[in-house]
Structure 1
């Protein structure tokens, strides 16, 4: 069994870029664009416990800020279990992390994010 711990240094700038874009879009009141960056950060960081849990924490806070009971209730179990699943390498690859997607459903990874993994010298998760 492979245990995942921390995100590779080569991937981290892309993850941080998505979180920064989330904050900028959120502050500008562009909530759909902000959410999209959180989803992208989730796909990039979901294989690593800390970054996976961090994105779910931010999604939970987003749900609270927009007063979405569905998102808040959907994020609580994801926040509690997501990091553990990352640690043991049992994630639904490509899942965008929101409560609108079943938590165990794998999704195709968009081409731009596939390119991020490739540019980082990593294989695209499958």
Structure 2
């Protein structure tokens, strides 16, 4: 996806990342990860946002001593960095190690609407 999409989706991804930080601040690790997953769905068509969210998921895994999640994120960071620009991402995938990195998933209607608006520049 192009730079225009990255710019258009940025406020929405940042909103989810801020919510993840707030959830972490009150020791709600699971809710923090939910917001990271939402940020992933929103930004996965942008190489920048896709890689950034996976790096933040890796950081989450390290903070919470989740070896499985950390291993999964290292693999996903490499994939995001090398495949996103070609559009080789499974739409809707939430990005966590608990799902296959190749699995296409349904997108919540609220997020799908935001993604569509970002694509057309609204």
TM-score relative to the length of structure 1? 0.88
Moved over 6 A (4+): none
Correspondence for 1:56 = 54
Q: For 1:101 and 1:79, how far apart are their aligned partners in 2?
A: 15
Question: Hey, which of these two has a bigger chunk of helix by percent?
Answer: 2
How many matched pairs?
120
- Are 1:44 and 2:48 matched, yes or no? no
- Using the TM superposition, give the Cα deviation of residue 121 of structure 1 relative to its aligned residue in structure 2, in angstroms: 5.6
1:75–1:8 Cα change, 3 Å: closer
What is the match of residue 65 of structure 2? 67
Offset of 1:119 from its aligned partner? 4.2
Note the 1:21-36 alignment, pairs <5 A: 21-36=19-34
Corresponding residue number in structure 2 for 1:79: 77
Verify the 8 A CA contact 1:48 1:83 in the aligned structure 2: no
Unmatched segments (≥5 aa) in structure 2: none
The answer for the alignment partner of 1:112 in structure 2 is 110
> Tell me, what secondary structure is at the counterpart of 1:106?
coil
Q: Distance in 2 between matches of 1:102 and 1:90?
A: 14
User: Aligned in 2, Cα 1:119/1:5: closer, same or farther, shift over 3 Å?
Assistant: closer
Contact conserved, 2:41 with 2:91, CA < 8 A, in 1?
yes
Q: 1:8 to 1:61 in 2, by over 3 A?
A: closer
Supply the RMSD in Å over aligned alpha carbons.
1.6
Q: 1:80-114 CA deviation, whole Å, 9 max, x = no partner?
A: 12122111111100000000000000000011101
Question: Which TM-score applies when normalising by structure 2?
Answer: 0.90
**Partner-residue secondary structure (3-state), 1:115:** helix
What CA deviation, in whole Å up to 9, does each residue of 1:8-53 have, x standing for no partner?
4332111110011111111111111100000000000011111100
